[in-house]
Amino acid sequence: MRNPAKCVSMHHIDDKAMPERPALTFSALQSIRSKKMIRLNIKGTQMHLKTRKNMWFCGTLLACLSISAPASSQEAGTAPQQKEMTYGEKADQEIQNFHWNAALQIYRDELARNENNADAWRGMGRILRWQGHLEESRQAYEKAAALEPDNSNAALGIASTYFLDHDFDRAAAGYAAARERWPDDEEVRQAADDFARERNPRVYGRYERDLTFRTITYGAGMPLLSREDIQLESVRDESLGQYIRKDKKATYTHFFALNNFLEFRYRRANYTYSTDVTDFSAIDWFDEYRLRYSYPFTPEQVGSVTYTYRPTKLKTTQQSYNSTKYEFELHSQWSPRFGTVVGGGQLRDLNGDPTTTSDLRNTSLVKAGVEYMLTQKAQATATYITNPDLDNSIHSKSLFLLSYQWRDNLSSLLRYRYDDYKSGGSQRIYSLAMRYTPDAHVWVELGVLSAARAGRSGVYPQATLIYKF
């Protein structure tokens, strides 16, 4: 199960929202502004109704005045005056166009003119946090807090940088202090409650089905101390008409900082076959040990290395052999809207048609992917992976995802997957799902998929549920 805390979202985030939660988009902010204007218009309408008796008199007076006035500003020799945008409006416009560095420079220019502008310091802190420069972001928020100590935005911004840095102790202290100082602020209370739930246990379940496999997953996890997380998972993976594999997994993760962690996973898998097995390479059971380390060379360039070791026992002969897999990846965020991942490695496993456990071969691995923000609400991702599984049963897997965020808590996902199996024909899968997060407790994804392989096809449901206590 992917842990969303391992990667920082490149979407901009409001100061009074949890860092990993969906951000207020600029269209949403514009909607809030428009609602304020509607309220002002309503007030103006009420005043207009109260003074309705004076309308005729005012209209007559204006008509008289217009006789002696120029027909237009052009006749008067003056051009229409356009209101100059404020520095904040200019920065918002640059952010909306994904020009974060340009927006950052606008705030810096404003601070060069007035270093006591708390709003500009908060704007800098916000963008630096989105970019992953957490220490610089924290310093900007601290300057804003010193200038305007009664403003809760800076206090929540400081706490969120500690949260993203996986320093839960300092983050907890920051949210607790903000809640004590602003007890009646609903957004402060919500942010503190959301963070508190991140430190609570979570449970989850997932159901997936296609023409080849039916998978049921359930598990639980919880943070430990300030920088640790542990997760237990059970998987029932049924290869339809062939075997059932039952997995038990345990994962321990230690976070050093944002995108800097060490992860260890142990997995035990047992196979049960529906018919008598004669294939030499059929597996009885295996133990799998996986160690992964991720390190940010810069906030925009994050590398990781993974080593997997799998002692395996065969079903027919009860002989044993060891599989190994080395992988490396580099995730690059080239701009707020464009990112890439490249990787490679080597897999050592049984040959395609082995006769002994010493009949092993080495296979090169390749991984490549891109992600692109089409708009503030739409994102496209494409990934290509060779030999994604240690069982050496598949040549490659191609994935495409198009997501659209309708509201802060509702998004739709269109997926395409192509599985190039080494035998039995390739599989194509199209799926459409809706993701709903009604509150900080619940994360739900429901959808349907259509699969086709070797002349067969079918439509199946899929569902995922995560609940945080």
- Domain ranges, ordered by start, for the chain: 87-198, 200-468
- 325: which 2 tokens? 């897999």
- Contact criterion met (CB below 8 Å) for 201 and 221: yes
Cα separations in angstroms, 219 against 40, 85, 235, 265, 434: 51, 52, 9, 14, 22
Q: Which of 208-217, 234-243, 409-418, 454-463 has the highest mean pLDDT?
A: 409-418
Please say if the pLDDT value at position 194 is more than 50: yes
Can you state the angle between helices 26-50 and 87-96, rounded to 10 degrees?
A: 130
CA distance 206 to 219: 9
Confidence band (pLDDT; 50, 70, 90) for 421?
A: confident
- Contact criterion met (CB below 8 Å) for 402 and 416: no
- End-to-end CA distance of the chain: give it in Å, rounded: 18
What percent of the chain lies above the pLDDT cut of 70?
A: 82
* pTM metric for this prediction: 0.79
The predicted-structure confidence for 30-42, as pLDDT tens digits, reads as follows: 333 333 333 333 3
The predicted-structure confidence for 290-318, as pLDDT tens digits, reads as follows: 999 999 999 999 999 999 999 999 999 99
Parallel/antiparallel/unpaired status of strands 427-436 and 213-224: unpaired
87-198 maps to CATH 3.40.50.1820: no
200-468 maps to CATH 3.40.50.300: no
Confidence band (pLDDT; 50, 70, 90) for 392?
A: low
* DSSP codes, 25-87: PHHHHHHHHHHHHHHHHHHHHHHHHHTGGGHHHHHHHHHHHHHHS-SSTTTTT-PPPPPPPPH
At 422 the pLDDT is 80
- 7: which 2 tokens? 């990667």
